[in-house]
């Protein structure tokens, strides 16, 4: 998730035609920031999480991946103490 200069443009490019892939890339970016506890990048992770949330609304087949609601709930549980992240949500 650290290669944001590649992953974010790839997610944007994939979003119109492959929403699942785009959503997974956005998740990778969010996870990368939160797992490192890189607070100065939280605003980017929030933008990526918002993009993933918007895209998720139109995904009907998550294949073998967890649906966005499950991912979001797990994210809240795993990172519940990162209040400076969640207050931006």
Contacts of 59 (CB under 8 A, 6+ apart): 19, 20, 23, 67, 68
Contacts of 73 (CB under 8 A, 6+ apart): none
As a whole number of angstroms, the distance between CA 72 and CA 39 comes to 19
Q: Count of residues for the chain?
A: 89
pTM attached to this predicted model? 0.94
> Tell me: the pLDDT tens digits for 18-57?
999 999 999 999 999 999 999 999 999 999 999 999 999 9
């Amino acid at each position: 998730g650290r290669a944001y200069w590649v992953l974010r443009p790839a997610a944007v490019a994939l979003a119109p035609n492959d929403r699942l892939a785009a959503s997974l890339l956005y998740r990778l970016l969010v996870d990368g920031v939160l797992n490192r506890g890189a607070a100065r990048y939280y605003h980017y992770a929030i933008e990526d999480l918002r993009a993933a949330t918007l895209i998720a609304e139109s995904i009907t087949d998550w294949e073998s991946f967890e649906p966005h609601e499950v991912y979001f709930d797990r994210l809240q549980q795993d990172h519940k103490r990162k209040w400076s992240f969640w207050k931006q949500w």
